[in-house]
């Protein structure tokens, strides 16, 4: 009698959801070999994203917040590639890998979708093109390098005219990621600027932009700090500022609850914007071939075994 085919489980995504699902299967597979589990992810490492801002601020080495997937998973199979398409009717995942984009078909009985989210640009024209996001290890390193580049460029005497723009940093999003990022940037710049003879701490402008009237609204009124009592002025010392509205990628204006505008102070060139502003699900048409919601995709029928 032929051996029964193992139950095939495919996990899409190696973030917190996908990785912890795989680790649970890792425990199960130690006692049950009737299941075959495959994890598909573009990166061959697990990234601890809550500490990305510390890499951007040079407080941590990048290697301290990554773990190799193959070291974490001994029984779960790993496919290092990008999900191209999911055929729900045929129960197949099309994944590509390598520079030649070579494709493989992965058949499944059960599909776990943990592809995560993407940055929410809130439909602001030009923002996706001009802003720096904070989602990946490459994003954090790029931000750190850009901050250093700004300091180097601003230190030249011939950069006096553009120095204000170079030292103006706008972070969009007053949630945990935004506040942690802007705090790390602020500390990093203030510590580093002492090594540049032509720059002073008073030259820095650090602005936090968010549409809600509070910083860290997730903490609630008792724990979360409210908005500043008075808006900053151009003569104010450098400080962490918070504003109410991001209008476009070309001008970041801030409007305080009391009414006075400080748009001039909080205006920054497009490429100075850092955007941990929020998350939104990945496009619904990717990789499912037609527009459908994740809830529609993950119906009990799609998880039934044939």
How far apart CA 42 and CA 30 sit, in angstroms, is 26
Class for the domain spanning 7-116+282-303 = alpha beta
- Which residue pairs from 295-301 have beta carbons closer than 8 angstroms and sit at least 24 positions apart in sequence? 297/88, 297/113, 298/113
Q: How far is CA 60 from CA 43, 54, 188, 255, 301, in A?
A: 20, 6, 12, 35, 45
* Portions of the chain given CATH number 3.50.50.60: 7-116+282-303
Can you give the pLDDT at residue 289? 54
Percent of the chain with pLDDT over 70: 71
Can you give the pLDDT at residue 267? 42
Can you give the pLDDT at residue 125? 81
DSSP-assigned beta bridge partners for residue 209: 172, 243
Give the residue-averaged pLDDT of 19-40: 94
Average pLDDT of the chain to the nearest whole number: 78
DSSP result, 105-125: EEE-SEEEE---EEE--TT-T
Burial of 71 from C-beta contacts in 10 A (0-12 / 13-18 / 19+): exposed
Contact (CB, 8 A) for 192 and 183: no
Can you give the pLDDT at residue 264? 37
Q: Is the pLDDT of residue 266 over 70?
A: no
The CATH-assigned architecture of domain 127-279 is: 3-Layer(bba) Sandwich (3.50)
* Portions of the chain given CATH number 3.50.50.100: 127-279
Can you give the pLDDT at residue 157? 86
């Amino acid at each position: 009698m032929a051996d029964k085919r193992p139950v095939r489980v495919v996990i899409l995504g190696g973030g917190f959801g996908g990785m912890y699902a795989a680790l649970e299967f890792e425990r199960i597979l130690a006692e049950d070999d009737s299941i075959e589990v495959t994890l598909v992810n573009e990166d061959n490492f697990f990234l601890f994203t809550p500490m990305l801002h510390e890499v951007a601020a040079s407080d941590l080495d990048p290697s301290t917040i990554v773990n190799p997937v193959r070291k974490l998973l001994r029984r779960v199979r790993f496919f290092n590639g990008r999900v191209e398409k999911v055929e729900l009717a045929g129960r197949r995942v099309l994944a590509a890998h390598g520079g030649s984009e070579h494709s493989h078909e992965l058949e499944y009985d059960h599909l776990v979708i943990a592809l995560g989210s993407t940055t929410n640009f809130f439909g602001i024209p030009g923002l996706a093109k001009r802003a720096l996001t904070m989602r990946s290890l490459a994003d954090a390193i790029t931000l750190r390098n850009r901050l250093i580049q700004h300091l180097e460029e601003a230190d030249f005497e011939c950069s006096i005219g553009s120095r204000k723009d170079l030292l103006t940093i706008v972070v969009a999003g007053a949630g945990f990621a935004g506040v942690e990022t802007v705090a790390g940037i602020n500390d990093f710049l203030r510590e580093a600027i002492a090594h540049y003879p032509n720059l002073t701490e008073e030259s820095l402008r650090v602005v936090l932009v968010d549409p809600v009237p509070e910083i860290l609204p997730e903490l609630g009124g008792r724990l979360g700090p409210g908005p500043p009592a008075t808006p900053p002025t151009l003569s104010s010392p450098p400080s962490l500022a918070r504003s109410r509205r991001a209008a476009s990628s070309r001008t970041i204006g801030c409007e305080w609850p009391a009414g006075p505008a400080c748009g001039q102070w909080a205006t920054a060139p497009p490429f100075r914007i850092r955007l941990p502003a929020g998350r939104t699900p990945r496009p619904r048409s990717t990789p499912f071939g037609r527009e459908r919601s994740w809830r529609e995709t993950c119906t009990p029928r799609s998880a039934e075994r044939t």
